[in-house]
Amino acid sequence: MQRRVVITGLGVVAPNGIGKEAFWQACVSGRSGIGRVTRFDASPLNTQIAGEVADFDPQTLGITLEEALNLDRGTQFALAAANLALQDAAFSTELNQGERDRFGVYLGSAMSIVDEGEKVWIRFTNRGTQPPKVAENDTFSATPLLSSLASANVIAAHHQLHGPCTIISTGCSAGADAIGEAFWAIQEDRADRMLAGGADSAISYGGLNVFSVMRALSTRNDEPERASRPYDGRRDGFVMAEGAGVLLLEERAMALARGAHIYAEVIAFSSNSNAYHMTALPDDGAPLQQLLWQILSEACITSEQLDYINSHGSSTPSNEPAETAAYKAVFGERAYHIPISATKSMIGHTQGAASAIETIVTALALEHQVIPPTINQEQPDSLCDLDYVPNVARRAPVNVALTHSSGFGGVNSALILAKPDWGDMDEW
C-alpha cells in the first residue's frame, strides 16, 4: 500500500508576520508587509519598496549566538522557520538515532548567494576601485557566503538530522519543488520525516536592481502597501520580499501513532517547464494548463472537487491573464466558482520561499476553513474576471486545495493538499 504523507508542523518568517499565528492573523486581516526599503539607501533605484522582515530576533527563534554571527540572513530565516515548524510539530520525546537517520531536509532557494555575494565583491574590490584582494588587516570569513549555499545542511546540523539533504534552485517554484521532492522521498520510503520549504533574502542594492532593470518590479514607491495587486487593473510589477517557510512532512501512520496534529495531507505534486521564455508564460498559459491537467490526474480528482486555489499571482501585467486563461481552459465554467487568492498581494514575492509560504497558507486555509483574500483589488481587469476573493477573507468549506507557482527559468510546480480526513471519507 502506498505510504501517505501529512503536514504536521508549520514555520514561517514573513514580512507580515513571524510564526504561524501572527502570520495567519495578518493574512486573514489583509495586512500587507510591504514598505519602503530600510536595509540600505534605495533612493538611486527606480523601485524603493520591498517586503522586509522586521524585528527578526535570531535568539528568540532558537538560533545560537555562533549561528547568528556565521550564517547569512537567508539561512537564518530558513533555520528560524525550521525551528518554528519543529516546535509546532510538538514531538513529545527526543528523536532516537534511527529516527534521525530517516529525517531529512530539502529546501528551495532562488537567490541565496546574492546578499553575501554583493557584500564580498564590495569588500574585495573596495567598491570597484581595485582588483579583488583581501586587505592585509581584513578578518574576512568565507563562512556566511558559503552557508548561503548550504541552508539545508545548516538545518540538518542544528537538529542532528541525518537523512537526505539538498537545495533546489528553481526560481519562484523552488519551495514547492523542495516540498514535492520531500513528499516523494517519504512516499517512496527513502525517509520518514522531512523538513521542507524555502528561504531567500535578496533585498540588496544589486538584488533589487537586477529586477528593476528588467522592469519587472512595481514602482509604486509612494504607496508600498498597495503596490502588490495581482489581478487588479493597475498592477505594475511584483514587489520583492524576503522570508522563509518550512513545513514538517511526516509519514501518516507515524504522525497518527504519535498523536500529532495534522494540518493537511499532501495528495499530489507535479511540475513542468515552459520551454518558452525565461521569465514569462505564453498568453494562453499553455504550460500551466498542462500542469493543471497533470496534477488533477495525479491526484485522481476533478475540478469539481477543488475548493480553493492559492495562485502564483505575482502582480505582473502578463502573469495573471495567462493564469486566468489557463484556469478557464482547464476548469471551464467551474473556473468561475473556485475561490482563488494571491497572497503575494500581502507578502510580496519572497522568491524561493514564496511557493513554500503559499503552501503554508494553503494548509492553514484547510485547517481554519477560511480563505485569505487578495488585497488591493480596486480596478477590474477585463482579462482577469474570476473570483479572486477580493480584499476580505472568506469562510468557506475547503476540503481540497491547489497551490501552484511559475518560476523564473520556466519551471512551474503545483501541489494538492487535502483535509486530513479527506482520503478516508472519499474512496479514491
Partner 1 sequence: MNGNTQRRVVITGMGVVAANGIGKDAFWQATRNGVSGIKPISRFSTGDLPITVAGEVSDFVVNDYIERKLAQHTDRVTHFAFAAVQEALQDAHIVLAEENPHRVGAVIANTVGGVEYVLEQVRALHVRGPRYMSAYTAIAWLQVANVGQMSIRYGIQGYCKTPVNDTVGGLDALGMAYQAIRRGAADVILAGGCEALLQPCVLLVMAQSGQCATGDDPRAYRPFDRRASGLLLAEGAGICIVEEYGHALRRGATIYGEIVGYGQSNDAHGSLIPSSNGAQYARAIRSALQEGDLSPQDIGYFSLDGRALPTSDQGEAKALHLAFSNGLGQVALSVPRTMLGHSYAAAGALDTITALLALQHRLIPPTINCEELDPRYGLNIVRKEAQPFSGSGMLIGGRSMGGANVVLALRSI
**Interface residues for partner 1 in 234-273 (CB under 8 A)?**
271-273
Quick one: which of 77, 211, 327, 422 contacts partner 1 (CB under 8 A)?
Answer: 211
Quick one: which of 13, 14, 86, 168 contacts partner 1 (CB under 8 A)?
Answer: 168
Q: How far is the CB of 221 from partner 1 (least distance, A)?
A: 14
369 near partner 1 (CB under 8 A): no
Q: How far is the CB of 84 from partner 1 (least distance, A)?
A: 19
Sign of CA dihedral 388, 395, 300, 9: positive
Binding to partner 1 by CB under 8 A, coded x per residue (else -) over 329-348, reads --------------------
**Within positions 26 to 55, which residues make up the interface with partner 1, using CB under 8 A?**
44-46
CA distance 367 to 224: 30
For partner 1, give the closer residue by CB, 214 or 253: 214
CA distance 225 to 33: 7
* Identity of residue 267: I
For partner 1, give the closer residue by CB, 177 or 232: 177
Quick one: which of 81, 411, 417, 418 contacts partner 1 (CB under 8 A)?
Answer: 411
141 near partner 1 (CB under 8 A): yes
Which range binds partner 1 by CB under 8 A, 82-90, 206-214, 234-242, 318-326? 206-214
What is the SS3 string spanning 274-294?
CCCCCCCCCCCCHHHHHHHHH
Quick one: which of 8, 16, 169, 315 contacts partner 1 (CB under 8 A)?
Answer: 169
Residue 337 annotated in active site: no
90 near partner 1 (CB under 8 A): no
Q: Pick left, alpha or beta for residue 368 (phi over 0 → left; psi -120 to 50 → alpha; otherwise beta).
A: alpha
Q: How far is the CB of 423 from partner 1 (least distance, A)?
A: 12
Q: Is 332 helix (H, G, I), strand (E, B) or coil?
A: helix
Among residues 172, 277, 384, 404, which one is catalytic?
A: 172
125 near partner 1 (CB under 8 A): yes
CA distance 154 to 172: 22
CA distance 99 to 93: 11
Cell numbers for 264: 493537511
146 near partner 1 (CB under 8 A): yes
The CA R_g of the chain, rounded to the nearest whole Å, is 21
Q: How far is the CB of 372 from partner 1 (least distance, A)?
A: 28
Q: Where are the beta strands (DSSP E) in 185-302?
A: 193-200, 243-251, 264-273
Q: Pick left, alpha or beta for residue 180 (phi over 0 → left; psi -120 to 50 → alpha; otherwise beta).
A: alpha
For partner 1, give the closer residue by CB, 65 or 127: 127
Quick one: which of 35, 39, 68, 162 contacts partner 1 (CB under 8 A)?
Answer: 162
CA distance 381 to 408: 24
Residue 404 annotated in active site: no
Of 171, 197, 169, 6, nearest in space to 104 by CA: 197
Q: How far is the CB of 163 from partner 1 (least distance, A)?
A: 7
Among residues 27, 158, 165, 312, which one is catalytic?
A: 312
276 near partner 1 (CB under 8 A): yes
194 near partner 1 (CB under 8 A): no
* Total residues interacting with partner 1, rule: CB under 8 A: 88
Residue 312 annotated in active site: yes
Q: How far is the CB of 183 from partner 1 (least distance, A)?
A: 11
Burial class from Cβ neighbours inside 10 Å (0-12, 13-18, 19+) for residue 342 reads buried
CA distance 271 to 261: 28
75 near partner 1 (CB under 8 A): no
Cell numbers for 212: 528593476
**What residues contact residue 94 under an 8 Å CB cut-off, 6+ apart?**
none
Which range binds partner 1 by CB under 8 A, 122-130, 301-309, 320-328, 419-427? 122-130
Q: How far is the CB of 157 from partner 1 (least distance, A)?
A: 4
Binding to partner 1 by CB under 8 A, coded x per residue (else -) over 284-323, reads ---x--x---x---x-x-----------------------
Q: How far is the CB of 227 from partner 1 (least distance, A)?
A: 19
Q: Which long-range contacts (CB under 8 A, 24 or more apart) does 20-26 make?
A: 20/84, 20/88, 20/360, 20/364, 23/360, 24/364, 24/368, 26/346
Residues 404/311, Cβ–Cβ less than 8 Å:
yes
Which range binds partner 1 by CB under 8 A, 9-17, 160-168, 327-335, 355-363? 160-168
Catalytic residues: 172, 312, 349
